A and B are shown apart, each in its own frame.
Chain A
């Protein structure tokens, strides 16, 4: 646990360029600070009490999803509250996928496809554009960069109606590519890749050039393998964002065949008669892949979140 912590701490410090040795480890603290800390000892225990209460509140919704997903409808709506199902009703999950009217399976497959394609294409396009902006001297590249910075500041509120118009014009309504396309081009990712490649040591590129590599060769053979961290950080955020997005798929995917898992859930939620246990089983199915991705990739997500915070 603590080794993960230290690594995390070092990540932050690397980013702002603080030398590792200065990081506050207990040993490097002066006696005066330790003494000052000790003065707060009494407040110390309170912190754990407070944090534990908040932690219970934060975990409560997850518990409710699992509880309801494993109960029968009658148990959920019973006046007698029970904290746990007497016996877990796993068949809710089987029924969920057997029920043709909810199209859960289609939604899951659409969402997975959309998230994976968005992830791959966005990373590829953004890193190429970011590299070109950082390294290839070309006339007008300043203007291009200005345009990208400009689009960064435009909220999606202004573009969602006209982007729909463009998409309708291009024939993308009710298609998966119509849902995917706008998400592939992210000014934010291009910007971050450019910042990353600006700091990339030029010696590596020069070595590549001596070996006869062109711009693309350098990008493909030298830069890509050395930017795993940025790719991971942005990639995970892109994947989660795509899987969870709602407004755009709602506008484009009007036909059930193009519904994502979020649209399936939303439709299910607002249906006339709701099968409660299946609704929560569906919610569980929709978040389980993400919670796994999240726990496995947390280190990178933290980095990505920190990047987003540094954006100004």
Chain B
């Protein structure tokens, strides 16, 4: 127990304390705390248009990815759950992308699936309908790169949440459906509306939460899909989420004070959204349990 605790302290609690002090320090090119400047790092960041833009970017991203992941993973779980044949097959096929890294997915999405040249797969499909090749990542009108970013994450994480929903579905007592049938309730929609979805409340809340927290911390696919080649910055500017911005602040510009302050702002944001979500979905919770 002692080693685990010491480790937790060194790698979680010390960094948080150190980070807090760093966020109050002028720490350019140094990891040392000491040159205290009050809340200036926070003020600087919150008036930094680049940082504000990154917050807007991540909110837009979360507003897309959270509901779509939720809907698709729930839909797949409902479709797979009671299959007579091929249940294990479909479950495996949908779940297996969870084993793939964001880097590999970014690679396939950027270089093959959504390659801007005619030999990209999406453009090949379009050419069959005589549609000209689209520069998926390089254009802002329309902003196709959102499609690239969102589909990559959907592919990677939908199966994982589907598994969580499947576990939730399995936990619903069959007697509820039997009772409904005896009461003459038939038709999938009514059962879904009055039994399945209310029974999935706890599962749904944790799927939404996990998904939202993960979305706010997006880094890998933005870095790898939009990142530059060679020494150019590439298309990073199109959509730069906070973590990518903080990474460049802390690692490229060596401004650890502001980097740490940004981390705390992100945490405040995540906690605010978590609480808001609890409040929103927590209503009537006592009613159900």
Q: Is the CB of B164 within 8 A of A287?
A: no
Residue of A nearest to B128 (CB): A81
For B173, what are the chain A residues with a Cβ–Cβ distance below 8 Å? 18, 22
Q: Is the CB of B4 within 8 A of A77?
A: no
| Distance A36 CA – B185 CA, assembled complex (angstroms) | 8
Residue of A nearest to B72 (CB): A54
For B209, what are the chain A residues with a Cβ–Cβ distance below 8 Å? 312
Residue of A nearest to B89 (CB): A1
For B267, what are the chain A residues with a Cβ–Cβ distance below 8 Å? 154-155, 157-158
In-complex Cβ contact of B164 among A33, A291, A308 (8 A): A308
In-complex Cβ contact of B167 among A12, A29, A312 (8 A): A12
Q: Which of B194-239 contact A (CB under 8 A)?
A: 202-203, 205-207, 209-210, 213, 216-217, 219-220, 223-224, 227-230, 234
Q: Is the CB of A61 within 8 A of B113?
A: yes
Q: Assess whether B42 is interfacial by the CB under 8 Å rule.
A: no
Q: Which of A126-148 contact B (CB under 8 A)?
A: 126, 128-129, 131-133, 136, 144, 147-148
Q: Assess whether A109 is interfacial by the CB under 8 Å rule.
A: no
Q: Is the CB of B105 within 8 A of A61?
A: yes
Interface range for B: 35 or more
Task: Render A161-204 as a binary contact track against B, CB cut-off 8 A, 1 for contact.
Answer: 11111101100000000000110110100100000000000000
- Please report whether the interface of chain B is mostly helix, strand, loop or mixed according to DSSP: helix
Q: Assess whether A234 is interfacial by the CB under 8 Å rule.
A: no
Q: Assess whether B283 is interfacial by the CB under 8 Å rule.
A: no
Q: Which of A91-99, A205-213, A225-233, A261-269 contacts B (4 or more CB under 8 A)?
A: A261-269
For B105, what are the chain A residues with a Cβ–Cβ distance below 8 Å? 61
Q: Is the CB of A157 within 8 A of B216?
A: yes
Q: A59-B93, A158-B19 are in contact. Are A29 and B228 (CB under 8 A)?
A: no
In-complex Cβ contact of A30 among B104, B112, B170, B178 (8 A): B178
Q: Is the CB of A298 within 8 A of B113?
A: no
Residue of A nearest to B21 (CB): A162
| Distance A27 CA – B163 CA, assembled complex (angstroms) | 25
Interface range for A: 35 or more
Q: Assess whether B171 is interfacial by the CB under 8 Å rule.
A: yes
Q: Assess whether A100 is interfacial by the CB under 8 Å rule.
A: no
| Distance A48 CA – B117 CA, assembled complex (angstroms) | 34
For A24, what are the chain B residues with a Cβ–Cβ distance below 8 Å? 174
Interface pairs (22), CB distance under 8 Å: A2-B88, A18-B173, A30-B178, A36-B186, A61-B108, A147-B8, A151-B12, A158-B263, A160-B243, A160-B246, A161-B246, A161-B259, A240-B99, A244-B101, A246-B101, A272-B230, A274-B111, A279-B107, A279-B111, A283-B108, A287-B104, A295-B96
Which 3 residue pairs are nearest across A and B when measured between Cβ atoms?
A: A162-B19, A309-B164, A132-B1
Interface positions of B (Cβ within 8 A of A):
1, 3-5, 7-8, 10-16, 18-19, 22, 31, 76, 79-80, 83, 86-90, 92-113, 117-119, 121, 124, 155, 159-161, 163-164, 166-168, 170-171, 173-175, 177-178, 181-182, 186-188, 202-203, 205-207, 209-210, 213, 216-217, 219-220, 223-224, 227-230, 234, 242-243, 246-247, 250-251, 256, 259-260, 262-264, 266-267, 270-271
